[in-house]
Amino acid sequence: MAPNNHLTNSSWKQSLRAMAHPRVITMLLLGVSAGIPLLLIFSSLSLWLREAGVDRSAVTYFSWAALGYSFKFVWAPLVNSLEIPYFTRKLGRRRSWLLLSQLMIMLAISLMALVDPATDQLTAMALAAVLLGFSAATQDIVIDAYRIESADQQYQALMSSGYIAGYRIGMLIAGAGALYLASFLGSTGDQYNYQAWQSTYLFMALTMLAGVFTTLCISEPNIEQRGGTLSSSDNSLRFFILFTLAVVGFIGCYFFSAQLAMHTKEQLGQLLSNGYLASTVVELIRLILATTVAIFIAKLLIMIGMVEQRQVNQAYVTPVKEFFDRYGLSLALTMLALIGLYRVSDIVLGVISNVFYQDLGFSKNTIASVVKSFGLGMSIVGGFIGGILALRYGIMRILFAGAVLSALTNILFIALAKAGQDIGLLYWVIAADNLSAGLASAAFVAFLSSLTNISFTAMQYAIFSSIMTLLPKVLGGYSGSIVEGIGYESFFLITALMGLPVLFLIVWVNHLLGPKKAS
């Protein structure tokens, strides 16, 4: 869709008035609700765990709790069609799922607050963090669907902008806000205070009331039947049972293979003379095995007639088939590879970044001021710049520029590692890193949006966003172990080099799309 490059004074005034549209304000508030959980799994939690004396490798493993974001396409059809008893009748399908996910987020954050990681209760903390990741990912699915269904096409861009701005505010609350509060209540790197972090996380749970009140005040959108939905509530319930049993099989496989995996890591580590590589290989095998078990259970239940194969195809196969039919096998696979790798250097570095700042000697207040508050402002500026440049020069060009800048700014972290506790250099590194990340994200979101078919928007966008974060988060879980083995400087160089295949993929996708589609 070509942008209108001949905006009149009237159109600018109309755009400004449209920013005050109730749906845009709704998306701003829902964006806040969506932005709060993420950093309570990543950076804020990592600092809490480090202050509690948890090893770096264990800290970064906690980033896997957010893998729910990467697998949300698996239960997107359920969220899209399953009714919640009583609540769906009273609130509607979208609002009932929104309310349920938000209440589950509040519960998960509260459960995390009740666990002191200094007392070796890491399993309980991990389970609560997984619940938080699953609930937050579910909220994202519903918000995406709500945005698409609740307003005309002319408001979609503004609603997305409102959502992104709210998301950044939510991240600021859960990032800088949580660090300031924990520090104010008396927990520091030198003197750990569990009560301070407990109160901080309980307060973060209360901030989710902004999303709850918004959900209760908004109206249910007029939902049209779209592709990829289930045809009846009975089919939805059967599908839910199938999904639940498959998840139980996945979790059970992981649980019962833990002891065997531990012994295998030791033996393979001795064989390869590299414990970190052995751990990566074993965990990858466990992930593949657990996924295979889940698929086997689902296939078995389909064979015995619990769910019709047609319903499974309608929910999962049809949206994927449409994407491949539209672009062809070669181009579709290349674009999926680009989606899966584009954010890898940023996310892998980001998982351990707060631990890095802390290891350099920066206080939580400094991290909150510079990394969270100042960095957030830079990322917003970078996002606006990226959007403007994408309109002027085309999405693919800015996508390439964003990938180059993201890789180069990772190299700046090597200079910071050498310099140590240099507040001036920290400002420069954070400014460059967040400006480039904002620019790249703006182009990337525009690219993903252009790939979806309106008939399958919720499912296809869930798949794209899942692929976007899956590999980076899996690798990010090992970032602490890698740093333990090779040090920060070599690690940052590796993350920069991860961006090189991305550049090739962008050029190749641009070539396959052709000059007209690429622009």
The residue assigned the tokens 């657990």 is: 290
Segment 87-136, tens digit of pLDDT: 888 888 889 999 999 999 999 999 999 999 988 778 888 889 989 998 99
CA distances from 263 to 258, 270, 278, 293, 431 (A): 9, 11, 11, 21, 44
Distance CA 409, CA 508 (A): 24
Q: What is the CATH number of the domain that holds 128?
A: 1.20.1250.20
pLDDT at 138 > cutoff 60: yes
pLDDT per residue over 219-274, tens digit each?
888 755 444 455 555 666 777 788 888 888 887 887 788 778 888 878 887 787 76
**Lowest-confidence pick of 58-62, 156-160, 340-344:** 156-160
Residue 53's φ and ψ, nearest 5 degrees, are 90, 15
267 shares its domain with 371: no
For the entire predicted model, the pTM comes to 0.72
Q: Is residue 360 part of a domain?
A: yes
Q: Are residues 381 and 455 in the same domain?
A: yes
What pLDDT band is residue 42 in, cutting at 50, 70 and 90? confident
Tell which of 262, 284, 307 closes a domain. 307
- Identify the domain boundary among 284, 307, 330: 307
Query: Does some domain include residue 3?
Result: no
What is the reported pLDDT for 214?
A: 94
Q: Which residues, at least 6 apart from 509, have a Cβ–Cβ distance to it below 8 Å?
A: 331, 334, 335, 338, 396, 518
Are 177 and 326 members of one domain? yes
Mind listing the pLDDT tens digit for each residue in 208-233? Answer: 999 999 999 998 887 554 444 555 55
Please check whether residue 410 lies inside any domain of the structure: yes
Nearest CA to 376 out of 85, 38, 72 is that of 38
| pLDDT of 12 over the 50 cut | no
Across the chain, mean pLDDT equals 81
- Number of Cβ atoms within 10 Å of the Cβ of 366: 18
Residue 124: how many other CB atoms lie within 10 Å? 16
Check whether residue 192 and residue 297 sit in a common domain.
no
5 within a domain of the structure (yes/no): no
Query: Does 6 map to a domain?
Result: no
Residues in the chain, total: 519
d(CA 194, CA 182): 9
How many domains in the chain?
2
- Alpha carbons within 13 angstroms on the beta-carbon side of residue 328 total 5
Residue type, position 56, single letter: R
pLDDT of residue 296: 92
> Do 182 and 319 fall within a single domain?
yes
Domain boundary among 249, 283, 307: 307
Is 110 within the bounds of a domain?
yes
Contact (Cβ atoms closer than 8 angstroms) between residue 348 and residue 42: no
Residues 397 and 299 grouped into a single domain: no
Is 10 within the bounds of a domain?
Answer: no
Whether the CB-CB separation of 138 and 108 falls below 8 Å is answered with: no
- For the segment 355-379, what is each residue's pLDDT rounded down to a tens digit? 888 888 888 778 878 877 788 888 7
Most confident range, picked from 57-66, 406-415, 508-517: 406-415
Cα→Cα distances 341→90, 167, 347, 466, Å: 42, 23, 10, 12
pLDDT interval class at 478 (50, 70, 90) = low
Sign of CA dihedral 222, 105, 71, 307: negative
CB 476 within 8 A of CB 351: yes
Of the pLDDT bands very low, low, confident and very high (cuts 50, 70, 90), residue 33 is very high
Same-domain status, 61 and 123: yes
Pair (138, 235) in one structural domain: no
Q: Per-residue confidence at 191, pLDDT binned at 50, 70, 90?
A: confident
The pLDDT assigned to 223 comes to 59
Sign of CA pseudo-dihedral 458, 464, 470, 473 = negative
Residues 157 and 301 reside in one and the same domain: no
Give the HSE-up count for residue 440: Cα atoms under 13 Å, Cβ half-sphere.
28
Query: Looking at the structure, do residues 234 and 216 belong to the same domain, yes or no?
Result: no
The answer, yes or no, to whether residue 202 has pLDDT greater than 70, is: yes
> Does 410 share its domain with 450?
yes
Same domain, 138 and 195: yes
Q: What are the structure tokens assigned to 269, written together? A: 């580590």
Domain span at 262 = 229-307
pLDDT at 382: 81
pLDDT number for residue 391: 66
CA distance 28 to 168: 10
DSSP 88-99: HHHH-HHHHHHH
**Domain for residue 494, yes or no?**
yes
